[in-house]
Structures are given as structure tokens and as C-alpha cells.
Chain A
Amino acid sequence: MKLTGAQALIKSLEHQGVEVIFGLPGGAILPVYDPILDSSIRHILVRHEQGAGHMAEGYSMATRKPGVAMVTSGPGATNIVTPLLNAYMDSTPLVVITGQVATASIGTDAFQECDITGISMGITKHNWLIKDANEIPQVIAEAFHVATTGRPGPVLVDLPKDISNATMEFYTPEPVSLAGFKQQIEPDASAVSQAAELILRAKKPVLYVGGGVIKSNGSAALKILVEQTSIPVVTTLMARGAFPDSHELNLGMPGMHGTYSAVIALQQSDLIVALGARFDDRVTGKISAFAPHAKIIHADIDPAEIGKVRKPDVVLLGECRRSIEELTRALTEKTAEANKDYKLPLELSQWHNTIKEWKNKYPLSYDRDAKDVLKPQYVIEELSKRQGEDTILAAGVGQHQMWASQYWQFNKPNTWINSGGAGTMGFAVPAAIGAKVGRPDKTVWAIDGDGCFQMTAQEIVTASAEQIPVKIAILNNAYLGMVRQWQHMFYEERYSEVYLSPDLPDYVKWAEAMGAVAFRVDTAEEVIPTIEKANEIDDRPVVIDFRTDVTERVFPMVPAGASNDEILVSAEHADSVIQ
């Protein structure tokens, strides 16, 4: 069958099972927009290409499928660089297609020419510049394979306009086999056995659960391992929902704004079982002081993560879910051997008691009796209480994100969509829209900051136009709150360029102008009724402008670069330490 390159691209995407493309057309990608009219694939026209990228990420994180975005050359391509970084840092599988100027013009500074393969080299798993229309089916197959295989991540395919217009004979691509792209799925059996021995002998073990558990669909396997062993669990920012918050062995999030029990349990443990986690600096604090007495079992699919930060004692190189399953199997086998006095669940009552004391002594807390101000934590708690377990929550970046992670009750994987490694302000609105496109059956909320909201709010227009009923709670503290918090604590309250204003813009009017239903909430009494009203709206986007306490800070907090032992549990504690 003779097709144009553009038709071949769309057909190849259909063959990959693509349901939706987030994009925005322009000169160099124009030929590809014509066959979209005849395709079964839904195209969602965004208002800014950054929105397309984050929507594709949100879609992917909610559905576990790769997200697809398509943009034109030059500024279209550079506008999607931020989502590429974001997806690269958080291992989200994305296939981004960029138009490019005609091959003969490449290298001549032609109109809207941009070396996007050069720019994106360091923030994609791989990228391709197609130089022959005949390559299209094969390259697209490779692009999806690379994006979704092993540690997932973004890829980019750059398609010059003359290639889109050229004709080619369409074919079904060969099964992808790339000589330089290999993954180890199954962990080494002897390493599994060594790991099981360490676990059986541990007195103060912790399961340090990272995003890899969610990527590998390992939540059910993890639950079995926890119940088999009774080892306490911490779930990183990327892993919230990988293990239910309702389970008493879940200590919550570790790290800079983690719970006291999660941070200190890691610090004092004698064995850390890292499952798809990468010892990020936001988790470890000062690395030389991190968990000084712990042996490390590191399970990860990416060999380059092993020993990058902390040298492991046992390496489980392979797919995270398989490593967890193999650990369970090995533990069962070893305890069944008659001559061993190992037993399951592990005898950890002392460790459990210590942790329980920490939990009781230092729970997450805020001033629940505050009269005149609306506490952001309260808003999140009430919002969370009024959701089913299946509700998906997206967040922006800043204080509101940390509070969302701390106070929302996550009980299922793939219900938490946030920007971890890159910390991209403006992620929430488009990511929520993408998630809702992928899971129209689920309620999707976003908790956003006023600063973040202003970066990508225009995508609410997309949501209204495409009838994507997402719900957005702005925790409007009139500030770039997280930066304000640092200036408060580490720059002697010298607030520099962080004030935004509570009512410029008028969020209600702005949201309404974009086709959303909008509410303003100033007091605690209005919180519940307004959430209930918002929950009932299902035919268009809803925005709630919550006017929250300007001065509230996120605690606990481990100051950047400090040891986790220096955790500050509350504002009073912080103010007594930092003068």
C-alpha cells in the first residue's frame, strides 16, 4: 500500500494502539495533521505545547500506557522540552513527535528550524531524526519499544516535512531488536538468596519503596511481601499509592518533607530494601550521614542506578515486581528449611514499637484550631475524605504538593500524578487533564498552587473545549509559598520576589472565562459544602480558589544539605533551632 510519510506515521501510531495524541499543529508538521482527520485516534488540541507534553505524562501515569504528543518544529519543539525533562526524571514513557524543516534545509537556519534532537539528547532515552520515509514504521515501533521497555522514559522522533510528504510502501515493522538495548528482567537467583538471608536476619528493616514499584505494576506483590515479613514501608514521593496509606505498616513519605517516622526509621534501620528507588538527594539528605548502620539491598532495573549514590550490599538487577516476587519465594523457601530457626513474619515487635512511639510522638500536625485563617492541610484532608479510593490526584510543585503528598490518603497505585525529579511548576492542570482523558471513568482532582496555576492555566480552555471535566483546587496563599518558606527560614525573612497577590488575577473570573465553574472559599465553614458542590459537577471543569494561610510552612523539614537526623518537626522546633 502506497502511503505518504504522514499517513504512514499515523498508521504506525494506530498499529501501536495509540488512542489519543495531545498536540498543536504548525508548518513543519502540517502534512501529518491531514491524515489525523481520517484516523481513529483522538487528537486533543492544546493551547501551549508544554500542556501537550504534561497531558501525555498525566495520561501515561494514569493508564500505564505510553503518552503521545505531537508538535511542530522550532518553538513548538522547544515548548515541549520541559515535559521531556519531566518525563525523563520521573521515568514516564512518552513518544514525542516533532515536525522538522525539509531535509535539504536542515543546517541552514531555515524558518522554524531547531536542532531538537541535539537539544533533547540529554533528556530522552533516545531520539531519531528520520531521513527516509521508508524508515517510519520501523522507527515508530522502535520508539514505542524504547519508551516502554526496561526503565521507561521519553523518546522523540523528529520528522522533516519532505519526509512526511514523500511516498513509501507501507509495511508492518519487524519485531524490534536493538543490539545496544538490553534489559535484565529476572534478578540473579543467588543475589535473591543473599537478600533473603539479610532480610531474615534484620532487626530493624525498612522497605524503601520508589516509583519503580508502580512502573513495574508491583503493588500487589509488595503487599504480599509486607504481610509475609511485617517489614515497615516508606513510600517516596514517586511511590505514593504503591502501598496503601491505610495499612499500619505504611510510615508515609521519607525525605525532606517526609514524616518523622519514615525519615528516622530509614536513618536508624539496619537493613534498607530499596525497591525501584534511587536514593535521591531529597530522600537521603546529606548522603554521608544517611542511614549509617544500614545494609542495603538495591532492586532496580537500571544498572546505572546501582551504586550511583549508595553502594549496595546486594544487587537485585531486574524488574522490580519480579525481584519482589522472588524475594517472597526465597523467604518462604528458607523458612521452610527445617534446620534454620528463621521465621515469618519476622520477629520485629521491638522495631514496630519504636516506630509506633515515633508515630505517636510526631504525627503530621498543623493548627487545627486556627480560627481566622484557612489551613491548606485542612482543605486537603477534607478533599481527600470526600473521594473514593479511585480518585486520581495531580499536583503542582511547591508547598501544596508536599501537603498533598502528606495529607491525601493514597490507597491505590497510579492515583498520584506529580512532578518529582524535575519539580515542574505548572504540571498539575495539564497532567490532570491528560489523566482524565485516559481514565474518563475516574474523578480527577488537581491540587495546585497559585503560582503554578498561572503557568499553565490556559489548558482549562482545552479541557472545556474537549469536555474533559477535571477539578482543580488552588491553594491560593498569594505567594510562591515554597520559596517564601526558604526565605523565611534561611534568609532572615527577607522576602524577595515571591509575592503574587491573592486576587490578581481574579481566579474565579479567569476560570469562568475559560469555561469552568468556579468557586471561592475564604473560610473553613465553606470548605465542605464547596467540595461537595464541585464533586457533583461532571460536565465541565471546576476550579476552587481556596484562600489559604499565607504564613503556613511545610513540616517536617530536613534543611537542604543537612543530615536527616536534623529533621525539624514543627514551626516551633524550626524557629528554636534556626535563629
Chain B
Amino acid sequence: MESKNHHIVSALVENKSGVLARIAGLFARRGFNIYSLAVAPTNDPNLSRVTIVVDVEASLLSQVVNQLDKLINVVEIQELKPTDAVERELLLATVECSLSKRTEVIQIVTALGGEIVDVNLSGLTIEMSSSPDKLDALEELLSSYGIIKLQRTGRVALPRLTKESDTYTNQLKLA
């Protein structure tokens, strides 16, 4: 579940072997908690974008950003304030669902903007891409029917276009 200590850090990293290990290792040895982490190559095949939701006190955040920035494979890094970012997360959930409950579940899912992507006689697999809090709401509703399997991707985020694109660069960010 979301907590007030969650902060989104978005990093552009070199697409080289071992980079994820360097990032994960840094978090582990400095005692920073990762809540979620999403990583995939960008349009530039040499670079990947990593979106990390970190679970740290606000006062520690600049430490997280500055330490990550010291990794040589981290090319660019910034904190994204939720107000200044578009965020999405994808959820897949298989729910136990007898035929009698089926309509009810489908209604909930479609009302929230999700989709049914797989079906059999005893259950449904649901997909929904949305903001993390809406996925939390869906997850809670589905849990009363019995979630068998669940996978969330962790959020991905980009800065909003309406404001300056580098809205919240860390104060100490180097030129």
C-alpha cells in the first residue's frame, strides 16, 4: 500500500550488464528500501529508464538520489513529485469466480477501467493499467472474491509536460 514515505526516483541508466545489480546493491548496503522498481530500455537502445519507488524518510531522499548519481552508469536522475509526473502501473490478477459471481466481478472491473484478459470455468484474469491508488482500490475489491495470483509491475513515471520538464531536479544536481 502507498505510504507517505514513498518517493519516485526516475533514472536514465546505461544499458549495460550489471547495472541493475549496482543499483540494487547500493540500496541494500545503504539501507534504503525499494518499494517497487521498473526498468526497460528506452528509444535509445544504449539507455534504460528505471523508475524506483523508494520507501525512505523525506530527509533521506537527497542521500538516495546523490548516492545513485555517483554510480557511473547512472546518466541522469531526478525525483518526480507525484503532482509533476504522470504515473502508471499495470496489474494482472487471477480471481476465483464462480459463474454466479461472474457478472458482478466483470462490472466492478469494467467500472474501474480494467479488462478481462483470460477466463475459465472457475476464474478470471483481469488486467488494469492505472494510477497506483486505483489499482489499490481494485485489489481491495477483488480480494473479497479471492485473489489467486497477482502481479503488479511497480509504477512507471515520466515528468508532466505542462510544467518545465525538469520540474524537480535535485538541488545539488550537477551540470
Contacts and interface: CB of A to CB of B under 8 A. Distances in A.
Interface of A: 117-118, 121-122, 125-126, 129, 146, 178-184, 302-304, 306-308, 315, 317
A304 B63 contact: yes
Which interface residue of A121, A125, A303, A315 has the most chain B CB atoms within 10 A?
Answer: A303
A307 B25 contact: no
B63 A117 contact: no
Contact of A306 (B13, B21, B66): B66
B22 A304 contact: no
A179 B14 contact: yes
A139 to B, nearest CB: 12
Interface in B1-55: 13-14, 18, 21-22, 25-26, 29
A294 B62 CA distance: 22
Contacts of B175: 182, 184
Contacts of A184: 174-175
B74 A180 contact: yes
A392 B56 CA distance: 45
Contact of A303 (B13, B14, B174): B174
B172 A306 contact: yes
A194 to B, nearest CB: 15
Nearest to A117: B18
A121 B22 contact: yes
A122 B67 contact: no
Contacts, number: 50
Contact count band on B: 20 to 34
Across the A-B interface, the 6 shortest Cβ-Cβ residue pairs: A304-B66, A303-B172, A180-B75, A179-B75, A126-B72, A303-B66
B71 interface: yes
Given A126-B72, A304-B67, A307-B62, A182 B174 contact: yes
Contacts of A307: 62-63
Given A121-B22, A306-B172, 18 more contacts: A118-B21, A122-B25, A122-B26, A122-B29, A125-B70, A126-B71, A178-B72, A180-B14, A180-B72, A182-B174, A183-B174, A184-B175, A303-B172, A304-B63, A304-B66, A304-B69, A304-B70, A306-B66
B174 A125 contact: no
B73 interface: yes
Nearest to A304: B66
Nearest to A317: B172
A482 to B, nearest CB: 26
12 contacts: A121-B25, A125-B72, A178-B72, A180-B71, A180-B74, A180-B75, A180-B76, A181-B72, A182-B175, A304-B67, A304-B69, A306-B172
A146 B74 CA distance: 14
Contacts of B174: 182-184, 303
Nearest to A129: B18
Contacts of B18: 117, 129
A246 to B, nearest CB: 38
B13 to A, nearest CB: 8
A331 B75 CA distance: 37
A308 B63 contact: yes
A307 B60 CA distance: 9
Nearest to A308: B63
Contacts of A308: 63
Contacts of B13: 180
Contacts of A118: 21
Contact of A302 (B22, B26, B70, B73): B70
Given A179-B14, A304-B67, A315 B72 contact: no
A515 to B, nearest CB: 42
Contacts of A183: 174
A315 B63 contact: no
Nearest to A118: B21
Nearest to B18: A117
A183 B67 CA distance: 14
Which interface residue of B13, B25, B63, B67 has the most chain A CB atoms within 10 A?
Answer: B63
Interface string B97-128: 00000000000000000000000000000000
B173 to A, nearest CB: 8
Contacts of A315: 172
Contacts of A125: 70, 72
Nearest to A155: B72
Nearest to A306: B172
Interface string B158-175: 000000000000001011
A325 to B, nearest CB: 20
Contacts of B14: 179-180
Contacts of A302: 70
A178 B174 CA distance: 14
A303 B69 contact: yes
Contacts of A146: 72
A542 B76 CA distance: 53
Contacts of A180: 13-14, 69, 71-76
Contacts of B66: 303-304, 306
Nearest to B26: A122
A317 B19 CA distance: 27
A117 B22 CA distance: 10
A126 B14 CA distance: 14
B68 to A, nearest CB: 9
B80 to A, nearest CB: 19
Nearest to A183: B174
A315 B67 CA distance: 17
Contact of A121 (B21, B62, B67): B21
A125 B75 CA distance: 15
A81 to B, nearest CB: 14
A315 B170 CA distance: 14
B168 to A, nearest CB: 16
Contacts of B21: 118, 121
Contacts of B69: 180, 303-304
A64 B117 CA distance: 64
Contacts of A126: 71-72
A129 B22 CA distance: 14
B57 to A, nearest CB: 13
B44 to A, nearest CB: 11
Interface string B78-112: 00000000000000000000000000000000000
A373 to B, nearest CB: 44
A122 B14 CA distance: 18
Contacts of B74: 180
A375 B75 CA distance: 55
Which interface residue of B18, B25, B175 has the most chain A CB atoms within 10 A?
Answer: B18
